[in-house]
Structure 1
Amino acid sequence: MPETTIRFDLPFAGSAELSLFNLAGQRLATLVSGDREAGSYTPLWDGTDDAGRDLASGMYFYRLAAGDRAETRKLMLLR
């Protein structure tokens, strides 16, 4: 089963959410949700959605929202 980590840094404590989306913009998985201390984080994603179903190979997006900032990046899943 493929696994990857998505590393991110929070310069300040506060609410953070890291979610995975398909190309249609549907949220598939939430890897981080809630209050976090300032620091570096490396959550693991195992290629499944929130229901535990394996996702197909392809392009996905992950979005990190923390405080008043949000960042979206691409992610390729290969099985």
Structure 2
Amino acid sequence: MPERENLKRTEKLQLMLDEKELQAIDDWRFENRMPTRAAAIRELLRRGLIATPHFEEPDAEATTRDFGVVDETVEAALKSSADKS
């Protein structure tokens, strides 16, 4: 990981998740030995931003309810990861 000198986080982001979404993030955090939930979320965001070119553009007509953390694709990936452990 690159070192970040004098990193000051001054913006707060509030995000509401359901129980299943939070559990998926926490499971990923512990499997990857992340120090905090916030660190895990930042790492997942970083990876998502890097992977952006590999995904289709979101529907411009979609509402916030159309976006979730856990869907069938994620559940299959989490199950596959757990089976390998």
Q: TM-score range by the shorter chain?
A: under 0.3
**Relative contact order: is structure 1 or structure 2 higher (C-alpha 8 Å, sep ≥ 6)?**
1
Higher helix share: 2
- In our comparison, the structure showing a higher alpha carbon Rg is 2
